[in-house]
Structure 1
Amino acid sequence: MQPVTLRGTGVVAGFVYAPTAWTRPAPVPPPVSGSLAEEDRPAEVERFKAAAETVAGRFTDRASAATGVATEVLGATAALARDRGWLRAATKLINAGARAETATTEAIEQFVTQFEKLGGLMAERTTDLRDIRNRVLAELMGLPEPGVPRPDSPVILCADDLAPADTAGLDPSLVLALVTRLGGPTSHTAIIARQLGIPCVVAAATLGDVAEGQMLLVDGTSGILTVSPDPVEARRLVAESAALAAEIAAWRGPARTSDGVAVQLLANVQDGAAARRASAGEAEGVGLFRTELCFLTARTEPSVDDQARIYGEVFAAFPGSKVVVRTLDAGSDKPVPFANHEHEENPALGVRGIRLGWTNAGIVERQLDAIAQAAEDTGATDPWVMAPMVATVDEAYEFAELCRARNLKPGIMVEIPAAALLADQFLAEVDFFSIGTNDLTQYAMAADRMSSRLATLTDPWQPAVLRLIQLAADAGGRAGKPVGVCGEAAADPLLACVLIGLGISSLSMAVTAIPTVGVQLGKVTLEQCREAAAQVASARNARDARELARRLLG
């Protein structure tokens, strides 16, 4: 066969050559029959509840066995599977005469429709909802769980999209790469592929043309997929990729450019266990402690003492090292049950992050009290604390005052373009910036970061996004204050070099990405990074920017 080239969005670098394996199809619910007899309805409700709880329990068990980001997304999906809203809707349908299979399908579809109307990050949860529906249906119908096959030899896993339960339990020795027709650079698939360290391409619109078992060459950097490639050339590229992988496995920090300039590489963590794993690796500290992920299932706000204990575990994992704590970034796709989340037409632009203080009196102050107590209990000195979703200088001032009253080092996330545009004024109030590239890209490009159709717009290589990052970095240089990046862009080795060239002082990422970035930084000089940054920021589009960086940085 002649080689055929397809294109998607590359999100995890590397070459893989292997046969394809497609995910198992979802179960087809039985046709709707007549109304269930009234005396049979209570038993049908119990049958439904048992199936839903079995599915939720499997998510919980997998979350307990998983690590890192996989734990987060599986725990969140378990909570969604137990969500009272859809369970109540299904129960109501059964009590009206529907069978459990029909009620499951219709109840989930109600919420899928609602989430799609809300847009933003909530729309991404529709993948999770449909996955829950399919698993509950399979349980009700006595069928195997849908989703990922269990190969006995290495494959490239292909799918329309992948839910957290699909990607979280993958064996990277058998699933060598992930390719999806849908999804974006910050989808669950991309995030977990980075954690597993396997190449990944998303938003490959014509992937459906690739048949089960066809040989495929995946280039996770460029996003190019080659069906039935020349085997000799494919194996050569894979061998080069394997040699680089061996170099990455042997890398030890701290990171430096080839001319000896130190670059601080930090870890993104969500709890004490993740922090301890990061401290056993090459991370120099924590650049992003996502505190909201500790409380995704908490029905009531934890006490200051309880929060302090949780935060203290992270401080204790990195004694004497930099630990940056982010206050609750709840809302939108990460609702925390104890926060008052009102219904909003567009939650991604609504009451989330620091704005939770508007509807939850004292919630920010209590969290800062807990962070201060944790620092005191563990002997952590000068703990760094940053607020998400800060849009005005007044917000930055007020947050900084709260932090300084508790001997905490105040900073803000730069996610809203307003903060980059007025960077000098913001830095007059706070001590540091941390740039969240995922949301910054979403808001700068007016494109839902979870939409596969908009994946080319939500690419952090977009020159407009790089210009905003440069504004923030330049302001940091003038003020003599550090500006880091903690979004997914930091884990891209080439983009990491560009960010350093723009003036970024630290990079925080999934701990598994640190050696890859460290190796790439060691191959270039600071001057090369600066030259690449200047040219890339002036590129016409994201694809040109990426190609320029590849040519200039190797």
Structure 2
Amino acid sequence: MMEIKGTGIGQGVAVGPVVRMAERLPEPVDRPSHLSPDREIERATASLSVVAAELASRGATAGGAAQDVLEAQAMMAEDPSVVDEITKRVEAGKTAERAVFEAFATYRDLLAGMGGYMGERAADLDDISQRVIAHLLKLPAPGVPNPGHPFVLVARDLAPADTATLDLGQVLGLITVDGGPTSHTAILAREKSIVAIVGAADASGLADGDTVIVDAERDLVIASPGTDEIADAKARIAERAARDTAPVTPGALADGTPVPLLANLGSADGAAEAIKLGAEGVGLFRTEFLFLDADRAPSVTDQQREYTRLLAAFAGRKVVARVLDAGADKPLSFLNDAPEENPALGLRGIRALRHSEVILREQLTALAAADAATDAELWVMAPMIATVEETRYFTELAKELGIRVAGVMVETPAAALIADRVLAACDFASIGTNDLTQYTMAADRLLGTVANLQSPWHPAVLKLMADVGRAGAELGKPVGICGEAAADPLLAVVLVGLGATSLSMSPSALADVRASLARYRPDDARAIARAALAAEGAAEAKHAAQAAASEIPTSRAAAS
């Protein structure tokens, strides 16, 4: 028996035989073309167009986050800068196959050198290159094997087009040698509830037919397990299956203390699925979808129509909408098109909205009108708050324009450190753990070279969240969590122990988080949180929380 460490996605378990992904196409030979440059360019552009259309078609079939990812890949396939690179190489006498390979490799190496989030996008370029070359050579594109029986797929990494269309009746689990928790493989596996371990470097030694246990909850692959390990894994699989088919209940701790579990949504399109998976409402409604890729702000009427669509889907439930969060990695020309050396620290969030207040006024007006037209319980919050004055400005303007419940997002250390004064000036707070981690650790969340610092488990980040939770409890104000941290089942328990009163996450994570919370009482959650807070670093905090959780008798939690 051998244990292989990686990063688990979710809490699932799978057992089955390994089937390895087919090897990549070999690198095209670098030889002079016998065709004219015009003919080679024609071949290359035709294959790029075919691959782009195929990726877009797969995206439309898959829907959800997969559609966004595959449409982005389709755009990459016909990106003018890539086409220019291919054209230069063809005009120098290279074949279309070699020119495509070299052009995509240039951009791939650039992203890979950045590491982290951007580095994990490099695999997307590799996939496009392979598909285009396969089309040029009239060969089948590399893809997921079909051995005719259920299996655990092992791959160097998996392309978004393959992850999005996996046959979940055959693929029991997924193990990748490369990648990380922010790779597209991880994102799509989480959305599709695929049992997965990513970044398991030692999995490269697994062979076809090897029996493995994929234990996402424990970040572990067990190769050649014994009969006891297999029996334990199958018992956990059965327990999970029974839980998934049981009636969905509201989120709560073991003693019945309610912890509402809400969904993060980017439009009304995902509402039905979120409700089916047990979302008790929406904890983060990202309104940017109406503004991105536009050259002007949408009208009040257009906004009201879309907001009404989402609120109507959640009639009788809470919906927390975030007003436009633009700037940094989401620039909008009509809001702030001035170049900034460090836009993450510039005119973004509430700062940008104050700079163009008419946009904020129109959005609040549209939200208030949608609220009046539906039976949902609408709360509205402002992003990137750093001062009490900003809090007061937004709250007063929101109330003036008909918003009944107005709050703020706590994403800056400044807001967390004076949370008592910030919360005194509004109705509620919601902690955005992604940005709070970024600003606390002074580590750009899109920069791979500092990826090791981008963990919400770090005690410095946990301490700030504890300060906000304490202020909320003292003032009787709700404190929600709407960053990705809430989707981590154990970290969710820690967050409740720190004072969070609700958790919002990707809908696919709801079941695991609900089950995790149900194991612990309030005192247990606080004890686990204290253990994490006392650690020196992020990894140590997670290990400390795991150790503290393991010491709590399951029977005691169940008896509650």
TM-score category by the smaller chain? 0.7 to 0.9
Q: Deviations over 1:13-37 (max 9, x none)?
A: 1322212233333333422333676
2:322 is aligned with 1:326? yes
* Residue pair 1:6, 1:225 contacting (<8 A) in 2 also: yes
- Deviating more after overlay: 82-91 vs 47-56: 82-91
Structure 2: 5+ residue stretches without partners? 555-560
Query: Residue 383 of structure 1 aligns with which residue?
Result: 378
What's the offset of the Cα at 1:79? 3.7
Query: Residue 28 of structure 1 aligns with which residue?
Result: 26
TM-aligned CA distance change 1:451 to 1:363, over 3 Å: same
Inter-partner Cα distance in structure 1 for 2:114 and 2:393: 31
What's the offset of the Cα at 1:285? 0.8
Aligned with residue 5 of structure 1, among 3, 6, 16: 3
Q: Secondary structure at the match of 2:552?
A: helix
What's the offset of the Cα at 1:205? 2.8
* Residue pair 1:79, 1:297 contacting (<8 A) in 2 also: no
Q: Deviations over 1:277-300 (max 9, x none)?
A: 223442111112233356665576
* Residue pair 1:16, 1:217 contacting (<8 A) in 2 also: yes
* Residue pair 1:118, 1:344 contacting (<8 A) in 2 also: no
TM-score (normalised: structure 1): 0.86
* Residue pair 1:203, 1:455 contacting (<8 A) in 2 also: no
Q: 1:106-145 maps to which residues of 2 (within 5 A)? A: 106-115=102-111, 121-145=117-141
Q: 1:348-427 maps to which residues of 2 (within 5 A)? A: 353-354=349-350, 357=353, 364-376=360-372, 378-379=373-374, 383-408=378-403, 409-427=405-423
Q: Secondary structure at the match of 1:413?
A: strand
- Deviating more after overlay: 27-36 vs 205-214: 27-36
Q: Secondary structure at the match of 1:173?
A: coil
TM-aligned CA distance change 1:175 to 1:295, over 3 Å: farther
Inter-partner Cα distance in structure 1 for 2:485 and 2:187: 11
What's the offset of the Cα at 1:72? 3.3
Letter matched to residue 139 of structure 1: H
* Residue pair 1:257, 1:525 contacting (<8 A) in 2 also: yes
- Deviating more after overlay: 152-161 vs 386-395: 386-395
TM-aligned CA distance change 1:223 to 1:479, over 3 Å: same
TM-aligned CA distance change 1:476 to 1:392, over 3 Å: same
Letter matched to residue 513 of structure 1: A
Query: Residue 552 of structure 1 aligns with which residue?
Result: 552
Query: Residue 206 of structure 2 aligns with which residue?
Result: 210
Query: Residue 265 of structure 1 aligns with which residue?
Result: 261
TM-aligned CA distance change 1:483 to 1:195, over 3 Å: same
Inter-partner Cα distance in structure 2 for 1:394 and 1:373: 26
TM-score (normalised: structure 2): 0.85
* Residue pair 1:125, 1:333 contacting (<8 A) in 2 also: no
Inter-partner Cα distance in structure 2 for 1:471 and 1:249: 38
Aligned with residue 90 of structure 1, among 70, 86, 89: 86
Query: Residue 242 of structure 2 aligns with which residue?
Result: 246
Inter-partner Cα distance in structure 1 for 2:52 and 2:329: 19
Q: Secondary structure at the match of 2:288?
A: helix
What's the offset of the Cα at 1:202? 2.4
* Residue pair 2:18, 2:209 contacting (<8 A) in 1 also: yes
Inter-partner Cα distance in structure 2 for 1:50 and 1:13: 43
Letter matched to residue 404 of structure 1: K
Inter-partner Cα distance in structure 2 for 1:328 and 1:151: 48
TM-aligned CA distance change 1:232 to 1:120, over 3 Å: closer
Inter-partner Cα distance in structure 2 for 1:94 and 1:336: 36
Q: Deviations over 1:196-229 (max 9, x none)?
A: 2233222323222223332212221121222111
- Deviating more after overlay: 314-323 vs 206-215: 206-215
Aligned with residue 530 of structure 1, among 526, 530, 533: 526
Structure 1: 5+ residue stretches without partners? none
Q: Secondary structure at the match of 1:255?
A: coil
Query: Residue 557 of structure 2 aligns with which residue?
Result: none
Q: Deviations over 1:168-190 (max 9, x none)?
A: 22233322222223333333333
Q: 1:39-54 maps to which residues of 2 (within 5 A)? A: 40-54=36-50
2:193 is aligned with 1:189? no
- Deviating more after overlay: 449-458 vs 164-173: 449-458
Q: 1:307-326 maps to which residues of 2 (within 5 A)? A: 307-326=303-322
Query: Residue 558 of structure 2 aligns with which residue?
Result: none
TM-aligned CA distance change 1:329 to 1:350, over 3 Å: same
Inter-partner Cα distance in structure 2 for 1:64 and 1:532: 43
- Root mean square deviation of aligned Cα: 3.4
Letter matched to residue 73 of structure 1: V
Inter-partner Cα distance in structure 2 for 1:463 and 1:474: 16
Q: Deviations over 1:146-184 (max 9, x none)?
A: 243334222222233333223222233322222223333
Q: Deviations over 1:108-146 (max 9, x none)?
A: 344345545666744443332332222222222222222
Letter matched to residue 29 of structure 2: P
* Residue pair 1:184, 1:452 contacting (<8 A) in 2 also: no
* Residue pair 1:119, 1:346 contacting (<8 A) in 2 also: no
Inter-partner Cα distance in structure 1 for 2:340 and 2:205: 39
Inter-partner Cα distance in structure 1 for 2:15 and 2:323: 43
- Deviating more after overlay: 448-457 vs 361-370: 448-457
* Residue pair 1:121, 1:332 contacting (<8 A) in 2 also: no
Q: Deviations over 1:401-434 (max 9, x none)?
A: 5433432343333333333233233324443222
Q: Deviations over 1:229-251 (max 9, x none)?
A: 11342232222332233123214
Query: Residue 509 of structure 1 aligns with which residue?
Result: 505
